[in-house]
Amino acid sequence: MARLPRIADLTPNVSGWSFFLCTRKETRVGRTGNPYLEIGLQDASGEARAKVFQDVDAITLEFDAGEFVKAQGRSNVYQGRTEIILDKIRRVIDRDRAEGFREEECIRCAPRPVDEMWTELLARLDSVQDPQLRSLLLRIVRTHEERLRIWPAARVVHHAYRSGLLEHILQIMKVSLFLADEYGARRDLLVAGALLHDIGKLREMSYETTTDYTVEGNLVGHIVIGIGMLHDAVREEPGVPAELVTEIEHLILSHHGSLELGSPVVPKTIEAFLLAAVDDLDAKLHQIRQHLEADDTPGRFTAMHKRLDRSLLKPSGS
């Protein structure tokens, strides 16, 4: 039997097998009164719903949510959405690696290749004019490179996948620099702010196949964790003037834009206003795009988006 295409490329009526991360596993009762399994499967390109209707009692013992699985079945369209009706599914075993199983291919990833993004990041940092600031930022990037390359930007809200944080940082940087030129803001500060505003997420969340909040993340939060990470770097690289460091701290602290949203201080510089606005916009648009893609309700409007508290007009062509 052939290997299935990536989830994002799956069309109806294709049979085959592949490796996935199982994100969800629930026993449900169908309209005829028989139990079946409803399963979430993920690969680098996206997430799909799958179902098991036969041998439910036996198959349910072969895997659990949170495990990598090998699954086999046929794609199908139900309520306007492609899903997979599975014949077999079991947890991955050692020799699957020989058949091509790779963890990172079973976990949702940012759409751009990570190496390409990393190169762009270093180029942005090279463009910083102040040599001491540039040196500080490069040190931070080197120190945290391992996590910074793969971390998600959030557990569920937006960019919640492998390398999502890096993708978000680069987008914030690009838009902020455009606006810096439009509104006469300092580019160096905005490169620093874009890089560091969410840097505390590297310790706020743990991340392996799934993302979770750490004790420090829950009790301190990424904004203040990020301040500590900046301090650690400044101690190694003490040449940056104190007031410039204070302004960068201010960018990190105020980037949620208001106290109600968790910033302990509100933006008080042009750069802080810009960064908070750009971060908010990027996060919102990412959520919107995701909601439009995921929605499978009938009609011209999506289901309610809880966080945004509204339904959205679907693009005409869709």
User: Taking contact as CB under 8 A, which single stretch among the options 69-77, 81-89, 117-125, 246-254 is the one that binds a copy of itself?
Assistant: 246-254
Beta strands in the chain (DSSP E): 15-29, 35-43, 46-52, 68-78, 81-91, 205-207, 211-213
Q: Whose CA is closest to 249, among 258, 259, 268, 239?
A: 268
Size of the site for a copy of itself (CB under 8 A): 65
In this structure, what token pair is assigned to residue 308?
A: 């945004």
User: Taking contact as CB under 8 A, which single stretch among the options 47-55, 146-154, 158-166, 171-179 is the one that binds a copy of itself?
Assistant: 171-179
Q: Confirm if 199 and 223 have CB atoms less than 8 A apart.
A: no
* Residue 114 Cα to chain centre, angstroms: 13
Instruction: Give the residue with the Cβ less far from a copy of itself, 4 or 190.
Output: 190
Does 143 bind a copy of itself (CB under 8 A)? Our answer is no
* Residue from 118, 132, 249, 290 in contact with a copy of itself (CB under 8 A): 249
User: Taking contact as CB under 8 A, which single stretch among the options 3-11, 38-46, 71-79, 254-262 is the one that binds a copy of itself?
Assistant: 254-262
Could you give the CA distance from residue 61 to residue 238 in angstroms, rounded to a whole number?
A: 57
Could you give the CA distance from residue 120 to residue 114 in angstroms, rounded to a whole number?
A: 10
Q: Whose CA is closest to 153, among 135, 140, 169?
A: 169
User: Taking contact as CB under 8 A, which single stretch among the options 8-16, 46-54, 121-129, 177-185 is the one that binds a copy of itself?
Assistant: 177-185
Give 171's contacts (C-beta < 8 A, 6+ positions apart). 282
Smallest separation, CB 206 to a copy of itself (Å): 11
Does 285 bind a copy of itself (CB under 8 A)? Our answer is yes
Which of the residues 55 through 74 are near a copy of itself (CB under 8 A)?
57, 60
Could you give the CA distance from residue 256 to residue 158 in angstroms, rounded to a whole number?
A: 15
- Per-residue CA distances from 183 to 124, 195, 268, 272, 280 (Å): 19, 20, 15, 13, 18
Does 140 bind a copy of itself (CB under 8 A)? Our answer is no
Smallest separation, CB 30 to a copy of itself (Å): 9
Binding site for a copy of itself (CB under 8 A): 27, 29, 31-35, 57, 60, 171, 174-175, 178-179, 182-184, 212-213, 215-216, 218-221, 223-224, 227-228, 231, 243, 246-247, 249-250, 253, 259-266, 268-270, 273-274, 277, 280-281, 284-285, 288-289, 299-301, 309-313, 316
